[in-house]
Structure 1
Amino acid sequence: MAKLPKPLRSFAIKPATHPKPALPLHRRIPQAHPAAEQPLRSREPTPEEVIKKAWSYRPRLSDIHRLSEEESKSAQHQAKLRRWRQWPMFGIGTVAFGMGMYGVMLWTSLTRDADVKDLPDDLSDRFDREAEGYDEKVDTSEMLLFLTSKRKKLTAMAKGHVLEVAVGTGRNIPYYKTKQCATVTLLDSSGPMLAVAKRKWIDTHKEYFSRVFFKQQSAIDPITPPYGAQNGYDTVIQTMGLCSTPEPVKLLQNLEASTNENGQILLLEHGKSHYEWLNNMLDKTAPAHADEHGCWWNKDIGKIVEESGLEVVDIKRYNFGTTWWLQLKPRKGMRQGQVETVVGEQPPAAQYAPESPVTQKPFWWLWK
């Protein structure tokens, strides 16, 4: 019997396998233990490393594109240079024109004949009249005389219970560091100017309004400190105020009587110069200037301070000596025997109640 052939052995065909794609770099799981890398991830760069990294990105001379000789002489490049040169020249011309016009106005003001007779001692009505537009008139003068930085520095020194007399329209208000002031009393004899100062305080320090008091009175009259300042104010400020009072010595002595014995009196004033030729012009034009602006700009500030008896801690002069920076200290015992204002006689609520805004005594109108 014939044998049947054996069936062929079947082999299982395995499906083609493809290599498993590798994970993207940003999805690969680190092989190291997470705890080992944790300190590296949480480490913040040191300031030195930050500085070195920033310095490494600085531009270098090699990065600057240098024009070829043909490109620098091209019409397009020359036109661009002309356009860039026009702006600096325009700015310089505008400044020169402004200073020239101001110089002409100043010379005219100082050389014109004064025709003023029998001026009254009280010129406060000039400040009432100029209250609304006062800041705009003074801005140019103070900018040219660099007085803004001096106001800022002076006001930043105020601390504790603060009194500012002759506050005017409140030109010092934006520079108060209210966090270092317990209370601030703003005093002036001109109602319209004090009203402007009140609006300015609301605009700049609204959150501090509960501890600011507005007083309309003369700085020559006794000044009542607020509740909590029975020993007097810690800081008294006056800027451009001696020029507008008929009794400057009495005013300074009254400020001394209102100041704590360990307090300070800060003044920024304008008056006589170092130079006689300038003093002659100031003397000649002072009556007309006072009649128009309520300010006598020819007072001898040094002599006034000397007659007041206050102790001078620091004194500086600027702008040919016409701007006076004074830091004064009250004499010991000046508050003793001062009748007026015993803090305990009034209830605290009455002393804390802010008075309605009214006016001030003048500031100054410098150089017109």
Structure 2
Amino acid sequence: MQPVRAPLARAVVLACQCGSAKNAIWRRTAFRRFASSGSKLLTRPNTPKPLPYKPVGPKPQPGDPPAKVSSEPAGSSSKAQPVSELVRSRWFPLFGIGAATVCISYFLAAQAVHWNMEPVERYAPGLEPQAPTGRPSIQSPVEFDLHLDKSEWRLGITKLRRKLAAEARGHVLEVAVGTGRNLEFYDWAGITATPEEVKKRALEKLNKVRGDRSKLADLGADEVRSFTGIDISPPMLDIALRRARQVVPQMAGALPKRPLFSQLASPGQHGLDCIALRDNKLRVFTTDAQSTLPSPPTGDKYDTIIQTFGLCSVRDPTLLLAKMASVLEPETGRIILLEHGRSWWDMVNGLLDRSARGHFERFGCWWNRDIELIVRDAERRVPGLEVVKLERPGLLTMGTHVWIELRLRRAVAIPKVDDGPGKSGERRSPDHEEKPSGSWFGNVSGSSSVLSVGGKPLGPKEP
């Protein structure tokens, strides 16, 4: 056995030596090529795996016409399926679409019949089942104010507030100022300017008129000289004072960080609780606008009277307009109103009527009142009152928002009213209330509210 094992061992050793020698020779050759050419180190070739066989069509010849490109998606059959075959293969989704269409159509038809046949709660202005207060009953004033931020921006009301405040000039009265959502848009320079700023503004005006002092009065006629805000709710005025501290110049040092009207107010004009700032040029009163309106700091008439969304929140809106006219400067003065009420579309009016009670319970106002009817009634009943402009701005509001401007052709003498509408303006008994109409497609026949002061109705407007 010894002689056989020795040759086998020698053969194995020689084979290993030969393999290692071949590897060494191959490595030396690769390194030499890399050093001489500067290329990457050679590696053993990695042959790709064979791909599945795909038949290759004949190559196009120079004389062949161009191939047509198919517009059909890959995998689709060029043959059109017959309708019967399509119904058999896709009967379930087709049945679902048909059933959904029938259900939606039935629901819309039932709603239309219900809205047309069922009686709708609709009352003349001032004859609603509950007197409006203009104050939220379900939510707090803070929640009420926050709720309006996004909705007013979406509906373009913020833009209209800015336009409304830009029209203010002279002695300004804002009725139902609420939480003061118009305060940030007024030009306060004429009220809050320091003595140095007053001198600077006077010099600028003098330069504009080239030294002609007779024209200085015309330049100052367009600025706000005083501001008076009134509201019936002290909690709403707390928020208005907080907003005034933020947006009105020089108010941060005049009011505390958390002002409370009940703590800061003192008896003022007509015995009303009042906060007066900036030498009585900036005042806030708590009062019912239907009973008492304070006079301006100087004089007895206002140049501009502003109200936003207030005619829907008072017992007798026609009387409120008469009270505004009694403190307005004749001829040059303006009453500017931004209100919401009935639309020019009957479908929208039907929706307003059906949701009016729920809206009243939340916000304290009847938003389905016919504002144009109220204004025309006041124009007819208040001597000298005239509508200058009445338009419905904004497409998203579908005609429910109304911009109104009124002026007074001459002074109107209205006797003093201490208890709102007066004796003959009290609410009627339920037996005399207007009955709801049976169809929501009709229009309001007219206002049953009679404007009367001291038991005598105001006469018709003279030509």
The code of the aligned residue for 2:285 comes to: K
- Between structure 1 and structure 2, the one with the greater Rg is 2
Structure-2 change in CA distance of 1:330 and 1:129 (3 Å): farther
Partner of 1:314 in structure 2?
A: 389
1:122 offset after TM fit, Å? 4.7
1:41-67 Cα distance to aligned partner (Å, 9 max, x none): xxxxxxxxxxxxxxxxxxxxxxxxxxx
The two structures have a TM-score, normalised by structure 1, of 0.57
Residue of structure 1 aligned with 2:309, choices 240, 244, 269: 240
Deviations 1:168-226 (A, max 9, x none): 10000000012211110010001100111112112211437412111111110121213
CA contact (8 A) 2:172 2:224 kept: yes
Q: Which consecutive segments of 4 or more residues in structure 1 shift more than 6 A?
A: none
Retained in 1: the 8 A contact 2:136–2:144?
no
Question: Which one is further off, 127-136 or 149-158?
Answer: 127-136
SS at 1:233's partner residue? coil
Q: Which has the higher contact order (CA 8 A, sep 6+)?
A: 1
The root-mean-square deviation of aligned C-alpha atoms, in Å, is 2.6
Matched, 1:299 2:342: no
How big is the shift at 1:255? 0.7
Kept in 2, the 8 Å contact 1:160–1:181? The answer is yes
Alignment: residue pair count: 227
Instruction: Identify the residue that residue 322 of structure 2 maps to in structure 1.
Output: 253
1:243 and 1:270 in contact (8 A); partners too: yes
Give the superposition deviation at 1:130. 2.6
Quote the Cα distance in structure 2 between the aligned partners of 1:243 and 1:337. Answer: 23
CA contact (8 A) 2:134 2:365 kept: no
- Structure 1 unaligned blocks of 5 or more: 1-110, 342-368
Task: Please give the alpha-carbon distance, in whole angstroms, between the structure 1 residues aligned to 2:353 and 2:288.
Answer: 26
- Map of 2:161 onto structure 1: 151
Q: How far did 1:294 drift?
A: 0.3
Do the aligned partners of residues 229 and 298 (structure 1) sit closer, same or farther apart at CA in structure 2, a change above 3 Å counting? same
Name the CA distance, whole Å, in 1 between partners of 2:295 and 2:138.
Answer: 26
Counterpart of 1:164 in structure 2 is 174
Contact 1:257/1:338 (CA < 8 Å) preserved in 2? Answer: no
Letter in 2 for 1:143: W
Q: CA deviation at 1:337?
A: 5.9
- The 8 Å contact of residues 160 and 233 in structure 1, kept in 2 or not, is answered as yes
Q: Structure 1 CA distance, aligned partners of 2:133 and 2:374? A: 20
Residues 337 and 124 of structure 1: is their aligned pair in 2 closer, same or farther, counting only changes over 3 Å? closer
What's the secondary structure of 1:132's corresponding residue? helix
Within the candidate set 119, 136, 141, 2:151 is matched to 141
| Residue in 2 that maps onto 1:102 | none
How far 1:139 moved relative to its partner?
1.3
Q: Per the alignment, do residues 299 and 337 of structure 1 end up closer, same or farther by CA in structure 2, a change over 3 Å counting? A: closer
Q: 2:243 aligned to 190, 200, 203, which one?
A: 200
- Name the TM-score, length of structure 2 as normaliser: 0.46
Which of 386, 396, 402 is residue 324 of structure 1 equivalent to? 402
Q: 1: distance between equivalents of 2:358 and 2:226?
A: 39
CA contact (8 A) 1:243 1:296 kept: yes
Residue pair 1:161, 1:181 contacting (<8 A) in 2 also: yes
Q: Residues 187, 128 of structure 1: CA spacing in aligned structure 2 closer, same or farther, 3 A cutoff?
A: farther
Q: What are the equivalent positions in structure 2 for 1:19-98 lying under 5 Å apart?
A: none
Q: Does 1:270 align with 2:324?
A: no
Q: Quick check: 1:119–1:291 contact (8 Å CA) kept in 2?
A: no
Distance 1:175 1:244 in 2: 23
**In the superposition, relative to structure 1, how do residues 303 and 221 fare at CA in structure 2: closer, same or farther (>3 Å)?**
same
* SS of corresponding position for 2:246: helix
SS of corresponding position for 1:238 = strand
Change in 2 beyond 3 A, CA 1:149/1:124: closer
Whether the aligned pair in 2 keeps the contact of 1:239 and 1:269 (CA below 8 Å) is yes
User: Residues 233 and 327 (structure 1 numbering): CA distance in 2 closer, same or farther, change over 3 Å?
Assistant: same
Report the Cα distance in structure 2 between the residues aligned to 1:152 and 1:255, rounded to whole angstroms: 22
Over 3 Å counting, the alpha-carbon distance change for 1:128 and 1:290 in structure 2 is: closer
Alpha-carbon separation, structure 1, partners of 2:240 and 2:184: 10
2:124: which partner in 1? none
In structure 1, distance between residues paired with 2:415 and 2:138:
32
Q: Which residue of 1 aligns with 2:72?
A: none
Q: Which has the higher helix share?
A: 1
Do the aligned partners of 1:169 and 1:193 also contact (CA within 8 Å) in 2? yes
